[in-house]
Structure 1
């Protein structure tokens, strides 16, 4: 390229609306290649450097780190990949800020008597908050040797996701849920539903059937139907009967009602989960209550 077509670092900076210091910074880091050097050793740049400098500044305006900008310019990464990574990073930062804002409001808006407890609850949860402790709780709670697909399906349904923009009330619910699932739990076989114990039949068969029963019951709960006999209840009872290798009879239903009434409850978990979930979508705790109520009503009718 003829020397008259080359620009000094000052001329390039002026054409780009940048400072000489900025141009030198990018040049020193290899982002802005020099076209040549003058006989005195001064940097010279061609017109293509102006386009490259505009691109660099646009990417930096988006807050892309200099190394990421270099990867785009050197075609080691596509712009789409770099932008996607940056968006994920910003999303994580925003999640942290939204959580912290709601947590601060939770502490600000409470009475002095509540403040110490709320600070303790909030301080126990890592930022950004993770639902991993909730998943671990369910993996401990479920009976052993369930197929992995069943465990994953149950955990996915039972573990709520924290809203992207939580309210102070949702922060409080999540921190209480976290405290509940991380509290010391009883030893094996203590405080577990009868279906989890050695004489509880075949849990894999039971939980396979319960998944279908809860899905059927969820439709009834969404429609605000009162508990009643029907397909959902039949599927629910059948799951217990098949897991025990017995028939669904009125006598079995009476025994099942007694068994379920004696099972330990984790209503506190489901109540807190409901505060974090879509109000229109019933929790497994709500569908279980509906099914148990339907069974109790049917048993009462049989007795009458």
Structure 2
């Protein structure tokens, strides 16, 4: 030690910015022991000990735990390795804090009850994998083991909720609503009936897939009718229904007759649960996609117009599909 400058604990505190109490703690715990003790028993520190104390202070200020600090000082772990590990931990903490902040804001904005708050907190904490598993369970329960439209099933399986790292309150609210919706047994039963209906249609030879273009034609014609004030039970509605029925006949390779209109009404009934449209809207909000416009008024008008025509032609037996929903059904879980 000859020639080395030694500092008392007070001088060491002044040079490192640490308190005497903290230096004494690091000394007693063996993190940075004193270089030597004076003949009177006082702790003395050399420049190397000061450098180690300054390193400890910096790492602790950055939030690195004391065990990791010891590993750096003992050279059992490198400084870059500890820094990278701690940075990752901080990133996780930040994401958790942002999520907590968003949940609290959502609770404040919607005036949630205690039960709603607990549910929102629980669902918001789910990992990406857990959110995917929840939706995958819904898909398996509703479409599993049924030969439904494969293009639709593939689309549903691929469209998973992906909350961003810093979600908006609306995205948290949408995720909570989606989780509740997909857990609803009545909704699951309705989607299952739709899947079974699709399977029955496929068994009869329908392999037409999805029908985005046909849906757009229906939207265009019916929205024009709505804008023009044409009632679904009016004489002006019949030519519109006839035009759309002809489109369906071509798409599905079926005769354009009274049976087609009966088939169309049944098809709309099966796909008429408004919650299916809500499913896609919520998913869009969560993932930051453009929210699809509602087709509920369009298919409500089309279904009502078909009902008038079908009832004029023959008695209706909808027993195969249970009670028919009220007009106003939106787009099914997949396009018609």
TM-score range, shorter chain: 0.5 to 0.7
Unaligned segments of structure 2, at least 5 residues: 147-153, 218-249, 256-262, 293-330
Alpha-carbon separation, structure 2, partners of 1:19 and 1:26:
11
CA distance in 2, matches of 1:155, 1:68: 45
**1:156 Cα deviation (Å)?**
7.3
The answer to whether the 8 Å contact 2:277/2:332 transfers is no
**For 2:288 and 2:197, how far apart are their aligned partners in 1?**
29
Task: Give secondary structure in 1 for the equivalent of 2:57.
Answer: helix
Q: Is the 8 A contact 2:8 2:45 kept in 1?
A: yes
User: Residues 207-266 of structure 1: CA distance to partner in whole angstroms, max 9, x if unpaired?
Assistant: xxx8xx89xx8xx9xxxxx958xxxxxxxxxxxxxxxxxxxxx686659x9797646863
Whether 1:129 aligns to 2:129 is no
Query: Contact between 2:285 and 2:291, CA under 8 Å: does it hold in 1?
Result: no
- Correspondence 1:170-185 to 2 at 5 A: 170-184=171-185
Identify the residue that residue 271 of structure 1 maps to in structure 2. 281
Measured after TM superposition, the shift of residue 51 of structure 1 is 1.0
> For the pair shown, which has the larger CA radius of gyration, 1 or 2?
2
2:193 corresponds in structure 1 to 191
1:91 to 1:4, Cα distance in 2 relative to 1, 3 A: closer
Structure-2 separation of matches of 1:140 and 1:291: 15
Q: Which runs of 5+ in 1 are unaligned?
A: 147-152, 221-225, 229-249, 283-287, 294-304
1:197/1:27 CA distance change after superposition, 3 Å? farther
CA distance in 2, matches of 1:88, 1:156: 31
Instruction: Provide the C-alpha distance between the structure 2 equivalents of 1:30 and 1:6, rounded to a whole number of angstroms.
Output: 19
Q: Does 1:8 align with 2:14?
A: no
Q: Map residues 152-167 of structure 1 onto 2, 5 A cutoff.
A: 157-167=158-168
Task: Name the SS of the counterpart of 1:93 in structure 2.
Answer: helix
Distance 2:192 2:96 in 1: 38
| TM-score scaled by length of structure 1 | 0.60
Between 1:1-10 and 1:62-71, the stretch displaced more is: 1-10
Whether the 8 Å CA contact 1:96–1:128 is kept in 2: the answer is no
Q: How does 1:132-147 map to 2 (within 5 A)?
A: 132-142=130-140, 143-144=143-144
1:23-172 map, 5 Å:
23-110=23-110, 115-116=111-112, 120-125=115-120, 126=122, 128-130=124-126, 131=128, 132-142=130-140, 143-144=143-144, 157-172=158-173
TM-superposed deviation, 1:176: 0.8
Q: Deviations over 1:82-119 (max 9, x none)?
A: 23333333333333333333333333334xxxx35x65
Distance 2:291 2:94 in 1: 26
- SS for the counterpart of 2:193 is coil
Shift of 1:58: 0.9
C-alpha displacement of 1:52: 1.0
Count matched residues: 242
Q: CA deviation at 1:197?
A: 6.1
Q: 1:173 to 1:280 in 2, by over 3 A?
A: closer
TM-score by length of 2: 0.55
Secondary structure of 1:121's partner? helix
Cα RMSD for the two superposed structures: 4.4
What are the Cα deviations for residues 31-74 of structure 1, in whole angstroms up to 9, with x where unaligned?
A: 21332333344333221011111111111111212112112222
**Relative to 1, partners in 2 of residues 1:161 and 1:33: Cα closer, same or farther, differing over 3 Å?**
same
Could you say if the C-alpha distance between residues 85 and 62 of structure 1 is closer, same or farther in structure 2, counting changes exceeding 3 Å?
Answer: same
Could you say if the C-alpha distance between residues 38 and 260 of structure 1 is closer, same or farther in structure 2, counting changes exceeding 3 Å?
Answer: farther
